[in-house]
Chain A
């Protein structure tokens, strides 16, 4: 086996150096399964109709983007933040407040190309400030503080009528129309979502290998040593919060375009925890995890009712199913479905073949 490995790792002529560097940076390019998934995602509108396209796949991608921001913080920064959905919801609210909506007394009526960057900037600022607050404490305290921030925002939106329109929320939010395309029509919106999700996915993948991401992982593993090496751990953590907040804000903008309305129910504590469940069930070691988790979550949410009734059980016990599934994952696989998959593959693949892959996330 060691002989096999050494032949594989023998340096090739330098003509191939650029290609190898590219592959090292983007291991997906080498993996046929990744190409297959990408192809299926691109031709999805040919396979799926409107309901599946939007209610399942676009929703999965949006939830996946929001959970991806949590995965970035938790996986690379070691900070489990429960306020990522709150940031997304804040961005959604800002789109509704600055843009056009049915509540003319609240919305300022800006065009979408002005309202959206504004919403993204404000939500990123919000997330950065929240992060600056959360990094003052460590570990499990972070969960508590971010949960408290999320809950405070939820109760605030319920009580505030001047900006957030209380518990009715803001309805009939306008979606972009330009170049003669209604970007909220099913197929166009699916491609917008897919594009944003792909950009976020590769951005997280890239940042995790960039010097900043490596330093962040160093801070996660041993912040005192990193401080001794001259890095500023808190600055790295806050920057990570800012980056994650921007990703979450993108997801939030897409979400408000998807549902065309936003209300405190969208930022409730339960929904914040759902994002954590999605990320943990999918696995927080790889950026692909949150998307897998989101797909499982959305499929369960959509079809659990029918399946439970078919088995003669009470269809309303969907959350019980989610909770038990989450408990099972936390109990038996600390890195989610990805971990289960990898363990299963390792058991089935013979050792000689295994050394060929040699990729680590």
Chain B
């Protein structure tokens, strides 16, 4: 942090000012002039919270994608299909057993198994041929999409939110003060906050696992130079399988999350594939903190964009990507 400020004082100043403005916008009671110019504070706060929670979901999808890429140099364009598959599994389990938590566990295991099969049966056979692997994932995504359309049809599904998570809660954030002097607090759906908290926990756990454990050390070494790592006697194929299983399983969990606070239908796989592509391009390929930063930026841009400039929301996301590519082609938090 201190080194960043020393190196780029201008950028640091801009970031600090932006954070301060954002904090003021969130915590202060807006003067009437501002409300007249850009609308109610409640709308703004809702958009910000929706953006951050959506960022949590994007992080879950993109972290698996970036982990797989970082270690195996495999752009898994079937990642969106894994997401959708996880969502359908979660839906099936939660309607069958009625347990929301169980649907996460089953979705994780099922999609992780698919990942293991993919790694063992497909990607291991064409190691080192990046382009061919990517082509194979394109073919797989077409096959998966059609199989899922076959089984589940074109309907919309939504995973049932458990009763203890239904309903809004009051957040300690002022939106306005009534004429009687009574403060009005923001109401926000509990389930989105819980899911966001869970994705933060998963993110921190991943960071700790990568930076504080032996297996994490092996994975990080593999990201840097997998040939040397293999030469030191690590069973690299086992590491590949584990990482692919973890990345795929995260996509499966994300599918259940997405099925709970959005919906599942054919086409969602492409949407989330695109989202994870943009997130990792912005954040930096192969970097977990980069995926987190990119996810929050893209989630915020999408939600704020759809509230304030509804016609061009997708263009904002795209412009962010173009800007990052122009300034820092390797992504915001990539080391190279």
- A162-207 contacts to B, CB under 8 A, are 162
Write the A227-255 contact mask toward B (1 if CB under 8 angstroms, else 0): 00000000000000000000000000000
B318's partner among A152, A269, A316 (CB-CB below 8 A) is A152
B329–A137 touching, CB < 8 Å: yes
By secondary structure, the A interface counts as helix
A290 nearest CB across to chain B (Å): 15
A326–B270 touching, CB < 8 Å: no
CB nearest to A276 among chain B residues: B138
A322 at interface by CB-CB < 8 Å: yes
Which of B73, B142, B146, B314 has most chain A Cβ within 10 Å? B142
A148–B143 touching, CB < 8 Å: no
Residue numbers in B under 8 Å from A273 (CB-CB):
138, 142
Write the B70-98 contact mask toward A (1 if CB under 8 angstroms, else 0): 00010101000000000000000000000
Residue numbers in A under 8 Å from B325 (CB-CB):
133, 136-137, 145
A330's partner among B135, B277, B285 (CB-CB below 8 A) is B135
Distance between Cα atoms of A269 and B269 in the complex (Å)? 11
A71 at interface by CB-CB < 8 Å: no
Distance between Cα atoms of A155 and B267 in the complex (Å)? 12
Beyond A148-B321, A273-B138, A323-B146, is A330–B75 a contact (Cβ under 8 Å)? no
Residue numbers in B under 8 Å from A148 (CB-CB):
274, 277-278, 281, 318, 321
A320's partner among B150, B278, B311, B322 (CB-CB below 8 A) is B150
- B293-315 contacts to A, CB under 8 A, are 310-315
A156–B314 touching, CB < 8 Å: yes
Residue numbers in A under 8 Å from B210 (CB-CB):
none
B314–A159 touching, CB < 8 Å: yes
CB nearest to A323 among chain B residues: B142
Beyond A139-B131, A148-B278, A151-B274, is A161–B143 a contact (Cβ under 8 Å)? no
A326–B274 touching, CB < 8 Å: no
B22 at interface by CB-CB < 8 Å: no
A319–B145 touching, CB < 8 Å: yes
- A121-161 contacts to B, CB under 8 A, are 133, 136-137, 139-141, 143-145, 147-149, 151-152, 155-156, 159-161
- A310-360 contacts to B, CB under 8 A, are 314, 316-317, 319-320, 322-324, 326-327, 330-331, 334
B139 at interface by CB-CB < 8 Å: yes
A83 nearest CB across to chain B (Å): 12
CB nearest to A318 among chain B residues: B146
Residue numbers in B under 8 Å from A322 (CB-CB):
142
B230 at interface by CB-CB < 8 Å: no
B314–A140 touching, CB < 8 Å: no
A269–B136 touching, CB < 8 Å: no
Distance between Cα atoms of A319 and B144 in the complex (Å)? 10
A196 nearest CB across to chain B (Å): 28
Distance between Cα atoms of A331 and B131 in the complex (Å)? 12
- B102-126 contacts to A, CB under 8 A, are none
Distance between Cα atoms of A316 and B147 in the complex (Å)? 11
B317 at interface by CB-CB < 8 Å: yes
B242 nearest CB across to chain A (Å): 22
Distance between Cα atoms of A280 and B146 in the complex (Å)? 20
Distance between Cα atoms of A161 and B312 in the complex (Å)? 11
A80 at interface by CB-CB < 8 Å: yes
A140–B73 touching, CB < 8 Å: yes
A140–B134 touching, CB < 8 Å: yes
B292 nearest CB across to chain A (Å): 19
Distance between Cα atoms of A32 and B274 in the complex (Å)? 47
B130 at interface by CB-CB < 8 Å: yes
Distance between Cα atoms of A217 and B150 in the complex (Å)? 43
B40 at interface by CB-CB < 8 Å: no
What would be 11 A-B contacts, judged by CB atoms less than 8 Å apart? A140-B130, A143-B134, A144-B277, A152-B318, A155-B314, A159-B311, A160-B312, A277-B138, A320-B150, A327-B136, A331-B136
Additional pairs, 7, CB under 8 Å, beyond known A330-B132, A330-B139: A140-B131, A145-B325, A148-B281, A159-B312, A160-B312, A316-B150, A319-B145
